[in-house]
Structure 1
Amino acid sequence: MNTSTTIRFGRTPTRYDAVSRLLHWLSLMLLIAQFGLGWLMPDADSMKTPAGLAAWHVGVGTSLLAVLTARLVWAVVRPSPGAAEQSGVLRFLATAVHVSLYAALLFVPVLGWINAGGRGWVVRLAGLWDMPQLAMPDSLGASIGEWHSASATILLILIGLHVFAVFVHQIGFKDGLLRRML
């Protein structure tokens, strides 16, 4: 008997669950805010403590790191939809972009955290809870702001590739891939 209340074990879902979708779109909203704040904030080199847009940038960055951590933990504990039907080359490229995207989503805020610690800034999760210092004031961490910016640019390129691939699937392949995350 197969009714809508029947629980099926071991079956691969056809779309992502509500928590995965929420964390995905929350990540996007935080990234939009983060890139906007990063471009609009004044030069951080002259700041002794983060203030104004720079303080918001740090707070949103730590929030993004927390959401990414939740995404990674959630991805381990729940089943996800199987890979899209596509050639081996496209599957390889999709995997490479996804792995790179997750790595950059982790790497960019951690570099920012190290840079902030090197500047002697107190880094707070969502602007509320103090986080451990990853670098001491006036250490090498203070000089990696360019790495943080460059890796953010790479992240933006990876996001662009991800969005482009979604459009190719949706418009070119017409395989409804986007529906899995809506």
Structure 2
Amino acid sequence: MRWRNGPDGYEVMSKTLHWVTVPVLATQFVVGWSIDAADPSVPRAHIALGLLVLALGVVRVLWRRVGLPPWAEHLDQTARRISAVTEKVLLSLLFAIPLSGLLLLEAGGGWLGLHIAAHVTFFAALTVHVALMVAHARHGQLRRML
């Protein structure tokens, strides 16, 4: 078991960071949709999860600097470009969403549009990311991250 990415694909650290981020984001969105609940712990949980998303974003960006595995051979230039752009957008949104949420909290409702736009962009990029993985699943693309 290797910790660092190599010629065979993603290794333990990248996979762990990826698959820890997924449920944290899912929980964050569910809690966010429940923000109007009467329970006062809901907003605190939302803020705590947002800070966790931000921390995961920092760790993921730093880890990417260690190195990425080579592209899967079956991906053509178009798929590689889509994948690269989508990954950068998703990583950027690990910062934009929680920071826009904190801005909304501190500066008021005038920032709600930015926060919503960041979410819409996230779901659009996530859709492209998942579609690309599904389209290339028969070539073992998903297996690289499991």
TM-score bracket, normalised by the shorter chain, equals 0.7 to 0.9
| Other-structure match for 1:59 | 48
> Which position in structure 2 is the counterpart of 1:13?
7
TM-score (norm 2): 0.86
1:159 aligned partner: 126
Hey, what's the Cα distance between the residues in 2 that align with 1:75 and 1:118? 32
Give the structure 2 partner of residue 147 of structure 1: 114
Rg bigger for which structure?
1
Instruction: Find the counterpart in structure 1 of residue 71 from structure 2.
Output: 83
Q: CA-to-partner distance for each residue in 1:84-125, whole Å, 9 max, x for gaps?
A: 232222222221211111112221111112222225xxxxxx
Higher helix share: 2
Match of 1:180 in 2: 144
Instruction: Give the ranges of 4+ consecutive aligned residues of structure 1 lying more than 3 Å apart after TM superposition.
Output: none
Q: Distance in 2 between matches of 1:26 and 1:107?
A: 19
| Structure 1 vs Structure 2 CA RMSD | 2.1
Distance 2:95 2:62 in 1: 13
CA shift for structure 1 position 12 = 3.8
TM-score, normalised to structure 1's length?
0.70
Structure 1 residue runs of 5 or longer lacking an equivalent are 1-10, 44-49, 120-141
Question: 1:82-121 residue pairs with structure 2 within 5 A?
Answer: 82-85=70-73, 86-119=75-108
SS in 2 for 1:144: helix
Aligned residues: 141
CA distance in 1, matches of 2:88, 2:60: 13
